[in-house]
Structures are given as C-alpha cells and as structure tokens.
Amino acid sequence: MFVEQITLPLADDLHVHLRQDHLMQTVVPLIDKGGAGRVLVMPNLKPHIKTTKQALNYQQALKALNPRVEYLMTLYLNPELTIEEIQKAATAKIIGIKSYPRGVTTNSEDGIENYEIYYALFAEMEKLGLILNLHGEVPSNAEKNICILNAEENFLQHLEKIHKNFPKLKIVLEHITTKAAVEKVEELGLTVSATITPHHLDLTVDDWAGQNHNYCKPVAKYPSDRAALRAVIKSGNPKFFLGSDSAPHLRSAKENSCACAGIFTTPLLLPYLADTFEKLNCLNKLKDFCCTFGREFYGLSALEQTITLKKISQKIPAEYNHIVPYRAEDELQWRIID
C-alpha cells in the first residue's frame, strides 16, 4: 500500500547529546522540529554531570532554551557516585545512570573498566527503579585483539553478568551496532532492552572509513550486522527502540585529521527515520519504534501532541550554525508538516 502521510505522537528520543554553551543553543531549539517531544539527555559534558544538582541545573538551562520538550536526565557513572546521591537522584526524578567505558568515546577519559566496583550502586538503582544506560564497548586492547570492530561484541559478557546479578535492574544497551548485540538482547530477560540509531540502520564500515561525517561510536559494522538491526526493527520486537545518539560537533572538529566521533540527526530525526523505514518496507513499524516501545520500557506516559509526516521531498541543509547534519545536502523523501 502506498502511504503518503503519517500522523504519530511526538517521538521519545531516548539517547541524545545536547551539549552546552554555543552548541546547546543551536541544537536544543531544533529538537521538536525534528519530531521529538521527550529526550533522554546524556551526561558527558565538560565537566561530566555527576550530581543531581548539576543535572537539575542543566535541565533548567535546557528548558529555558526550549520549553516545548521534556528532558529526562542522567548522571555519569563514576567512582565518586554514592548510594546517597543515587537516592537523591531518584527523588529528583533523574531517570538513569550512564556508564561509559574508559576512553572509548567523546569525554570518556575517566570512564569505567571494572563493573563490579559498582555493584552496591546497581543494587540501589535496582531497588529505586533507576535505569542503567550502558555504552556497550570495551576499550581497545592489542594483546586481547580488541579494536573498534569487535569492542561491542566483547562487551556483551559484561551486560550478561550485570543482568544475571541484578535481574530486576532495567538496563538499556545503547546504540547497538551488531548482530551479536541484537541476539544477546533478545536472549536476556525483559529488563534488558536496546536503543538503535537512525544512522546505524543505514551505514556500514565502508560509509565511515575516510568519511568523517559518518564516523561515530560505536562505529557502524558489517552489512550482516546492519541486516540484523533492520530485521529486528521489522520484527517489531518491543525491546528495541529509538535512541538517536545525535552527537553534534562543530564542522572544524569533524573535518580534522583526528575527527570527533558523533553524527548529528536531531533537526530531521523523524524524516530520516521515515525515509529509512520506507526503504525497508516497514513504515507501519515507525510509530511503535519511536513512540511506544521506549516509553513503555521506561514507564513513561504517552505524549499527547502529534506530528504529521508527509511524502514531500526536502534537501538536508549543508549545516546548522557550523554543525554539519547527517547526510548533509542529500535529498530526503519525507518532511514534517505543520
């Protein structure tokens, strides 16, 4: 059936980088323009968001820039985090604690290497219903033959171990990129789910090697991995939902001999997804992926406001205030109409 218009609630983008200072001022007003009404905000600022107080201040700043969006906040898992701080966070309605392995991505120099030292915190999170958001990669290690192509697969043992120890702790394996991750999340209990980005439904290694604007962490992997992500989307498995991992960097930080990792999708999030879902012949799965599955896993209420996507082509801008968006200057087949 030929579909040329879709109306759905504003989306839940359950993994987004909104930055600070100038980048934040550009990015935050674009969130609802891209079709999201609620976002889970990542804490990897400089300095990291490590306390409830910092998270609430950041939330205030985001609200002041764009009050049309709801901001769900996270803290950066780190050795200074205490049980009292976790309790404070829960009371302040902070939703999750984000774990970054050491050195694998932007601002993760003091990330995690050993998860067991956090077991007391995980127990408290399990008790209070806070979510553990995992960046699922292990650090590269030449002796163990670990590099960015198998860093996610090698992380899955940690996911499994944490889940077995804390079966009631809700865990989201963020921005999955491999068939192995899809299979592991399918296999584990209902408290384990995963986010999938729009770009990982499109890209493979060939698209980012030598193409800095498509470079992000975790890197896009093999065609067979992309096929597994596409298949799980098409299957409509509620354990897999939208987290864009939109991660803006200035053009100068991307067009550089040592490019920052991150792909910027916030301003056209739903049109990108509608394009991809149409190509995959599963537009009928778009609404649940963007608006239902994530919200239900997180226990959030339904968003009332709707948007309409229409099959009208548009050209993706070359940049937004020195930030180059995903597929810049390319043609999209869908747009959000007022």
| Residue (17 or 239) nearer to ligand NCD, CB | 17
**Calpha distance 315→324 (Å, rounded):** 13
Among 105, 193, 212, 276, contact with ligand NCD (rule: CB under 6 A): 105
Task: State CA 86 to chain mean position distance.
Answer: 22
Shortest distance in whole angstroms from residue 99 CB to ligand NCD: 11
Residue among 12, 13, 98, 184 flagged as catalytic: 98
The interface partner of residue 261, options being ligand NCD, Zn ion, none and the CB cut-off 5 to 8 Å by kind, is ligand NCD
CB of 160 to Zn ion, least distance (A): 22
99: part of which helix (H) or strand (E)?
A: strand 96-99
Partner whose binding site includes residue 111, from ligand NCD, Zn ion, none (CB under 5 to 8 Å by kind): none
Whichever of 66 and 197 has its CB closer to ligand NCD, that residue is: 197
State which residue, 126 or 174, has the beta carbon closest to Zn ion.
174
CB of 168 to ligand NCD, least distance (A): 26
Give the tokens for residue 164. 């077995």
* 245 is a contact residue toward Zn ion (CB under 5 A): yes
Residue (84 or 110) nearer to ligand NCD, CB: 110
**C-alpha distances in angstroms, 186 versus 189, 200, 219, 235?**
8, 18, 21, 12
Rounded CA-CA distance 302/130 in Å is 19
- Which of 13, 202, 245, 288 is labelled catalytic? 245
201 to each of 224, 228, 257, 259, 278, how far by Cα in Å?
A: 11, 9, 26, 22, 12
Name which of ligand NCD, Zn ion, none residue 204 binds, using a CB cut-off of 5 to 8 Å depending on partner kind.
none
Our answer to whether residue 175 is catalytic in this structure is: yes
Instruction: Give strand pairing partners of 97.
Output: 75, 132
Q: CB-wise, 261 or 286, nearer to ligand NCD?
A: 261
The count of chain residues that interact with ligand NCD, using the rule CB under 6 A, is: 11
Separation in Å, CA 79 to CA 29, 43, 116, 128, 171: 34, 15, 12, 20, 19
Interface with ligand NCD (CB under 6 A), residue from 247, 268, 273, 274: 247
Confirm whether 135 is a catalytic residue. Answer: yes
- Told to judge if 245 belongs to the known catalytic residues of this protein, a careful annotator would answer yes
**Distance between alpha carbon 181 and the CA centroid of its chain, in Å?**
15
Taking the C-alpha atoms of residue 263 and residue 238, their distance in angstroms, rounded to an integer, is 25
Which of 288, 296, 51, 14 minimizes the C-alpha distance to 133? 14
Look at strands 5-9 and 306-310 and give their pairing: antiparallel
Comparison of 245 and 275: residue with beta carbon closer to ligand NCD: 245
Which H/E stretch holds residue 279?
helix 269-279
Tell me which of 12, 124, 153, 245 binds ligand NCD, using CB under 6 A: 245
| 105, interface contact from ligand NCD, Zn ion, none, CB < 5-8 Å by kind | ligand NCD
- Give 180's DSSP letter: H
- By C-alpha distance, which of 119, 79, 76, 74 is closest to 93? 74
Query: Between residue 127 and residue 156, which ones bind ligand NCD under the rule CB under 6 A?
Result: 135
262 makes contact with ligand NCD (CB under 6 A) = yes
- The burial of 195, by beta-carbon neighbours within 10 Å (0-12 exposed, 13-18 middle, 19 or more buried), is given as buried
17 tagged catalytic: yes
Active-site annotation holder among 17, 170, 200, 239? 17
Binding residues for ligand NCD restricted to 279-298, rule: CB under 6 A: none
The active-site residue out of 12, 15, 48, 158 is 15
Known catalytic residues?
Answer: 15, 17, 98, 135, 175, 245
Which residues in this chain contact ligand NCD in the complex, by CB under 6 A? 17, 44, 105-106, 135, 216-217, 245, 247, 261-262
Which residues in this chain contact Zn ion in the complex, by CB under 5 A? 245
